[in-house]
Structures are given as structure tokens and as C-alpha cells.
Amino acid sequence: MAINYQERIPNNVNLSTDRALQRALEHWQPHFLDWWKSLGPEGFQASDVYLRTATSVDAKGWATFGHVKMPDYRWGIFLADQEKDRTIGFGDEYGKPVWQEVPGEHRAALRNLIVTQGDTEPASVEQQRLLGQTCPSLYDLRNLFQVNVEEGRHLWAMVYLLHAYFGRQGREEAEELLHRHSGDPDNPRILGTFNEPIDDWLSFFMFTYFTDRDGKYQLKSLAESSFDPLARTCQFMLTEEAHHMFVGETGIGRIIKRALEVMKELNTDDPQAIRKAGAIDLPLLQRYVNFWFSSCMDLFGSEKSSNAATYFAAGLKGRPDEATFEDHILKDASYDLTVPANEVGVTIESVPARNAMNEMVRQAYIKDCMIGVTRWNRLIKKAGVDFEITLPSSRFRRAVGPWAGHHTDPQGNPISAEAFEAHKAEWLPTEADRIYVKSLMKQVIEPGKMAAWIAPPDRGIDSKPVDYEYVKLH
């Protein structure tokens, strides 16, 4: 369905036919804008940014591009088209018609899922609000803002569901989404990782590669939901999310490319020499990968989860690409988990498959993460450099699930606390790494110019040249 841009809130849900809902959302809109102006990107609210906006929700040409001031961005409500006669794809209600309204018995669980997802969207905008001040180029600055406005739109996507389907409680939750703030000691964001500031660009690219991809897998699971409006909302969010991970993958790829150039120029792989030339050495990059990947592992929840089993049984949250599986009910199936045993041992524990849902989603995520890693390694190999970026084991540095509190090496072998401490500086970013990365963060805003630690992109955005004035600063 085409998007109606004539209304105060752009939408493709016929908002004007439901006066009460429209009024409620129009009441929330200025609160959202106040939040954006006070906690969105700092220092650029008056800049003209070359942004894309959705014009329709189909795969062809969904975007138009143009310079807009971010507070004037047309945030709206865009659902993927309704699939005719869609039926429930998994769980105990398999094959029955999907729900257009929230079933009473699943109200609390669905509200919870929507609020938790919704909370991460504005959280990431808050985490990244200072990054513009140290952007490596105008091209990157524009990409940061594109990600930020779309996370803002994802908040709209969840707030619409809360308003439209959860009554007064939903409206209260929508207000709360603007009242919790990333890192606020009194009223923090729901998930721990979303309370850590992202104040350097290496972390931003890691976040968009690894953490936004966790978002992708959460959305893919929710896009299978029997609650049809949630499924349709998440489907469209996924098309936006793809760009965020592109930013991460190409950002890290360009950092690697720059490191390889410097290594070739100087004919060395000595990290200190590479740092002296202003680039980021590959071992440092690997430590950041280890850190970000392992914190994302926890976002999927515990390997064994009765909540996840309940969500699956009830048809609330499925597996990504549920249609590609054979058994959609998993009533008697089991799943083998590798869990810690004794001090430094490993054993297999067989659990009901429904209880291992988080682990199945996590494994699909890991496979998806490998695609970019393989591309980065191809660059490194092509340059004739003997180094391989690897993803650590899903057991490494866990704070959630059976591996929490157990030390392992990056390959996942259990080790003692002393051995972990002794190797920590090889495996995880050190204070010196962080200080070095911070020292590189200087704003570059001349069109086409790049900071010394990152190579230019292969091409610009929307067929524009790399030196296009993607952000007009005022």
C-alpha cells in the first residue's frame, strides 16, 4: 500500500480512519521530537543531511533521497503488505489463521517483546549521539545519521503497535520508551549493552556489524509471529536494518584496507609502526571483534530458556526463516547443548528443542556474521598478509547462560581464571588500545577527505560521488 505523506504522521495503515488512534499518536509525536532534539545527534540538528525516506514498502524503489534537516525527517508507520490467508507457521497452533488482534492470554508476553525491542531503538541513538563530532568523513557522517533516523523510525514502528493494540497500558509503555535513557543510573535502558556509550567510530562500526545484526535476528524471529501486525512491521524494519549492517561491514573493511596499505608502504606488520602511521593494526581490530561479538552472544539469552520455549509454543516468536525448517512444532525433538562440566571440562546436555530456541537463533546469527569476516579475510589474503580475522567461540566471555562465570580461551576451551587473566591483553581491547583508538578520533568534514585510519568507500551513496557534500553543515 502506498505511503500517505499528506498527514502529520506518514503512514500506510489508513491512520486517518481511526481518529482516536491518530490523536493519541499525534499527542506522542511532539514528545518524540523533544527527545530527538535533546538526545539525538548532538550539534547537527540544523545540518542538511542527504537521507533516504521510505516511499513504498515493496522491494523496488522504496526510498527517495534528498537533503533534509533531521528534525524534519518524515518518521512514520510503514508495515509490509498483508499476506492473504496467512497461517501460523510454528508451535502448538500451527496452521491456524494468524491473529489480527492480540489474544488475551498472550497480551503480557507480546507487550513485553515489543517493549524490549522498542527500547533498543532509541537507546542506540542515545549511545551514538556524540559520534558526529569525530566523524572520519562526510560520507560516514551521513551514514551515521541515516542509521540514527531509522532507529528513530523503528521506535515509531513499536510505538504504533503499543498504541494500536495495547490500550492505555500500551500508551504508558510508549511514554516510558522516551523516559528511559541509555546510561541513566535511575532509569536505564532495559538491556545492559544498550547503556554503554559508543564514543569511537571503531566501536560504531563493530556495533552496526554485530549488534545491529543481533537486531536483524530478533526482527527475523518476530517477523514469523502469529500476531500479524507485528510480523508485518518487522518485515519492513528488516529492509532498513540491512543498510546498518552494510555500514558496519564496509566500515570495518575500509579500516582493514587502510591497515594493509600502510603495512605494504612500510613493509612491516609491527603494530607500533602501523600506529605511528596513523592506521589501526589488525591484532587490535581482532580484540575489538572478540569484545563485540562476545557481548552480542549474550543478547540472544540463555542457551536453555523456558521463556523462549513458551514463546515458540504459543506462536509469538519463531526461528528466523521458519519456513526453511521441516519440523515446525518441535514437540518431541531434542537439541544437544555443549555445557561446562566440573572445573575445566565440557559435556553434552540434551534438552527439549523448544528450550534451545535461543541457541538455534544464536547459531544462525553466527553463520551470518561469518559472511563479512570471510570477505575481510579475502582482502587480507589478497594483500599477501598472513593474518586471519576469527570469531571467538560462543562460550567465550559470556555473562548469560551456562557459560557465565566460566573462563574459556577464544576457541572455547575452558581454562582457569589465572590463565584467562594472563592472556586477557591478547584477547580483549586493552586500555592502551582504547586510548590509541580515541586518539584517532578527529573530525574530518571536507567533502571527499578521509581520516588516515580508514580507506575511502568504493562508491558513494545513491550513485553520488564519494566527495559529494552528503552533509551541509550550518
Binding site for Fe ion (CB under 5 A): 121, 151, 154, 212, 241, 244
Q: Other CB atoms closer than 10 Å to residue 58's CB: what's the count?
A: 13
- Chain-centroid distance, C-alpha 313: 26
Determine the Cα–Cα distance for residues 159 and 206; give it in Å rounded to an integer: 27
- CB proximity list for 345: less than 8 A, separation 6 or greater: 414
Closest CB to Fe ion among residues 154, 397: 154
C-alpha grid cell, residue 207 = 556495533
CB of 398 to Fe ion, least distance (A): 23
Closest CB to Fe ion among residues 237, 285: 237
Closest CB to Fe ion among residues 93, 249: 249
Determine the Cα–Cα distance for residues 212 and 248; give it in Å rounded to an integer: 9
Contact between 394 and 362 under an 8 Å Cβ cutoff? The reply is yes
Closest CB to Fe ion among residues 162, 282: 162
CB of 66 to Fe ion, least distance (A): 21
Closest CB to Fe ion among residues 450, 461: 461
C-alpha grid cell, residue 21 = 488512534
CB of 162 to Fe ion, least distance (A): 16
Short-list 75, 62, 81, 65, CA closest to 11: 75
Contact between 52 and 64 under an 8 Å Cβ cutoff? The reply is yes
CB of 355 to Fe ion, least distance (A): 28
Determine the Cα–Cα distance for residues 369 and 371; give it in Å rounded to an integer: 6
CB of 372 to Fe ion, least distance (A): 15
Contact between 299 and 191 under an 8 Å Cβ cutoff? The reply is yes
CB of 202 to Fe ion, least distance (A): 18
Closest CB to Fe ion among residues 140, 241: 241
Short-list 328, 201, 336, 197, CA closest to 255: 201
